[in-house]
Amino acid sequence: MKIGIIGAMDEELIPIRAIIQNLERLEKGKRTFWHGRAHGHEIYLTRCDPGKVNAVIATQQMIDHFSVDAIFNMGSSGALAPELELGDLVVATEFIQHDFDVTDWGLKPGEMMFDILMSDETGQMQFRSQQIFNAHPELTQKAVKVAQSIELEKLNGHSPKTYTGRILSGDQFIGKLEKAQHLWNTHQGLCTDMEAAAIAHTCEVNGIPFLCIRAMSDKADHSAVLSFTDFLVSATANYGKIFDQLFQQLDVQ
């Protein structure tokens, strides 16, 4: 099985690179990819850099260059749900791009427009809308079972818990309590990042299964800037363990 793995920062890829054998560097245009093997699977890694456009470009290049069978995304996120603590993991089931806003046209926050055309009969604009993009159910279920079956490393004395649910993405670093509360109240997303929903969107267009696991590195409030740097490496270490076990359970094609 060919698996493409995308992280926004090199530090977020460190736990994954540690379990990949025979890593080789591949240059495609201005992007660097890494190729190796893990438990019989071909693994391709790349850093996309923060932001939705960066994430889309990296995802599409991963699909076009290497014809991967699935895309995995992992990294840090800011917790929105009150019960989440630093180090907790979210295995995503669905995604919304929270900063897409055409509410003045009567759509819901994060609802996007597709297949736009003008009706010859009415002169009105017609379109299809979509707010939610989905993770692959089977991959998600397997990842959750793995996460719940292994011992995760503690972070500052906290034993991380695994949650499943919605992730919100936008081209914004959420560092204010008021904004975090607004996103939670509007979308009930467990956490927020800057890439996952855009990757999910790209995978859906291409018909590629998508799995996303995010580690909480901050509370997406006034403490975010301080704790993000302090906890990034520690908070992301556990998904390396999860991916290592998950690779062993996936069929080798």
Whether 218 sits among the annotated catalytic residues: the reply is yes
* The pLDDT of residue 1: 94
Q: What's 223's domain CATH number?
A: 3.40.50.1580
Nearest residue to 162 (alpha-carbon basis) of 73, 80, 242: 242
Residues of the chain with pLDDT under 70: 221-230, 253
* The pLDDT of residue 223: 62
Rounded Cα distance, 94 and 108, in Å: 16
Neighbouring C-alpha atoms within 13 Å toward the C-beta of 110:
22
* The pLDDT of residue 226: 53
Instruction: For residue 173, count CB atoms less than 10 angstroms from its CB and return exposed for 0-12, middle for 13-18, buried for 19 or more.
Output: middle
* The pLDDT of residue 230: 65
Dihedral sign computed on CA atoms, order 201, 203, 205, 208: negative
Active-site pick, 12, 94, 193, 244: 12
Query: DSSP letter at 154?
Result: P
For residue 225, give its domain range.
2-249
Beta strand pairing call for 162-169 and 31-38:
unpaired
* The pLDDT of residue 61: 98
End-to-end CA distance of the chain: 5
* The pLDDT of residue 195: 98
Amino acid at 122: T
Whether 49 sits among the annotated catalytic residues: the reply is no
Active-site pick, 193, 218, 221, 244: 218
Rounded Cα distance, 153 and 162, in Å: 12
Task: State the total domains in the chain.
Answer: 1
Nearest residue to 243 (alpha-carbon basis) of 104, 110, 91, 117: 91
Residue 150, φ and ψ in degrees, nearest 5: -110, 160
Length of the chain: 253
Q: What is the mean pLDDT of the chain?
A: 92
Rounded Cα distance, 151 and 238, in Å: 9
